[in-house]
Amino acid sequence: MSLYNLTLRAYVRIKQRQVRRFLHDADRAIELQQEVLFSKIRRNKQSAFGKEHGLDKIRDIRDFRRQLPIADFERFRPYVERVKQGEVNAMFGPNTRVLMFAMTSGTTSDSKYIPITNHSFDEYRRGWNVWGLRTFHQHPELLELQTLQFSSDWQQSRTEGGFYCGNISGLAAETRPAISNLIFCLPAILNKVKDAEAKQYTALRIAMARDDVGQIITANPLTLIGLARLGDAHRESLIRDIHDGGVDRGVRLSDDLRGKLRRWIGRGDPGRARELANLAERHGRLWPRDYWPKLSVLSVWTGGSVGAYLPQVTEYFGDVTYRDHGLSASEGRMTTPLEDNSPVGVLDVASHYFEFIPEDEHGSANPTVLGAHELERDKNYFLIMTTSNGFWRYDIHDVVRCVGYQGQAPLLEFLSKGAHYSSMTGEKLSEHQVVQAVRGALDEVGVAVEHFTFAPIFGDPPHYELLVESSLASSTRERLAAEVDKRLAAANCEYENRLETGRIEPAVIRELPPGTWKRFHNRILSRNGASVEQFKHPCLTNKLDFIPQLLPEENHSLAR
């Protein structure tokens, strides 16, 4: 065993105290949650938000819930805009620094800008450290292999106040401990590649040149499927690049980036190229399961709707262990899974203050609000967070199921976004975005419809269908679908990204038989006992079985 392997093993063994601390925190979650909340109150009570909302008057949980309503991002947007301009004390106290803004999709036409502070970033890294240390401790063979981790640029743009905007994963990659670079084979500079296909091609060019990749970390299983297909489709040029050195000139990489990547791509390896060529000839393909024989762990989301893609991932990548990295967002990490092949994670009670609303009470005028220790096994809840990003009682619209407890901390499984959201691949479409996009598209194309629903369709890759009771010419359908996609992409950067990277196919129009919506409305009204006045037609659904239930006697052929 080499010196650096011994060093890594010693490092992971010593750092296991962080995992033990995490488990100890779970054992005293009730007490710790109060400490976390009041620490955030003390830290930010002198901010403009804190003064306007009387944070200094809060003495207990009842005061806290009375003083601050449950809110979505739009409540905080005016304060975020002030911070973007450089007015940090609009949301934060004197000992808080804003490191960057993470950009993600919001409920309206504007992206969400999430302030990443020194405190929230420390919490983010601590959660990832616990996850990683536990994973490497349970899979020590990975310490002798390479890990392929995908992240994105954290310096994509700047705010008026000079703060960088981008992806928090890029900041984490650039600031991780130097010892970590012994096992991560992709350089942080790769995050600067803007073209998604060029980035994946270059990642493959670097990683396929070696046969000792043991783990891949990325968020979405569809990214892995796309990576495998890209490698197979471009196997000839990849083998040639590995043989000769460099990256094919047809790949959209600037000369500046090619120069900065020279250390990883400059040298050729004719021997490895011959191995890959022989594998491609033997199998008639070139898949990751062929060229990375030591690959044993794939760290991706496995819960919610994306879990349906895991069988396809296994086909390309072989008989691997799946390691879910938990429920997390730019706003913070919520859960940390501790075992293989399970999306269930321990609530991160040391980082955020959590509240929960029973699923069937969400959106009601006076819902039951529970602490983390008050959840019932096998019940579903909406999760509410108070974070170091400056968000108080923030409804992130995630539905989770409590499956048990680790000490006093609940074990949670992510189920879906809430009823007014759909997120097959992380796009997090809101009903508001869909309504604005479809109405604008209908006006642009000159089509009038009374009702519509935007429905998700499972596939490889998935897509959405716009359901309308209207007979349209083929050219009109195509124009309308393209216009909807254009407007959704403008409103939601996550949807735009997934269209660009092929993780979602373009939307299509499905024409419904006359009377479909009337029958649907009558069925819902009779089932729920609601009045016509109370009924709200769903303009967006997140149910994958919506169309089969809507058209039980149809063969569901597409009208394109």
pLDDT, residue 43, reads 98
pLDDT, residue 417, reads 76
Closest CA to 61 of 355, 281, 283: 355
Angle of the 235-244 helix axis to the 270-283 helix axis, nearest 10? 160
For 265-284, write each residue's pLDDT tens digit.
Answer: 999 999 999 999 999 999 99
* All structural domains of the chain: 124-322 (no CATH), 421-550 (3.30.300)
- CA torsion sign for 395, 400, 402, 407 is negative
Question: What is the spatial distance between Cα 458 and Cα 453, in angstroms, rounded to a whole number?
Answer: 16
- E strands within 105-231? 112-117, 146-149, 157-158, 164-166, 213-217
To the nearest whole percent, how much of the chain has pLDDT over 90?
75
For 140-194, write each residue's pLDDT tens digit.
Answer: 999 999 999 999 899 999 999 999 999 999 999 999 888 888 899 999 999 999 8
For the sheet containing 112-117, what is the strand order?
Answer: 112-117, 98-104, 164-166, 157-158
Quickly list DSSP for 430-488.
EHHHHHHHHHHHHHHHT---S-EEEEEE--SS-EEEEEES----HHHHHHHHHHHHHHH
Contact 351, 333 (CB under 8 A): yes
Is pLDDT above 90 for 532? no
For 209-234, write each residue's pLDDT tens digit.
Answer: 999 999 999 988 888 998 999 999 99
Closest CA to 1 of 190, 207, 168, 140: 140
DSSP type of residue 109: S
Q: Distance between alpha carbon 291 and the CA centroid of its chain, in Å?
A: 28
- What single letter denotes the amino acid at residue 9? R
- E strands within 264-362? 297-299, 321-322, 328-329, 332-333, 335-336, 345-347, 353-358
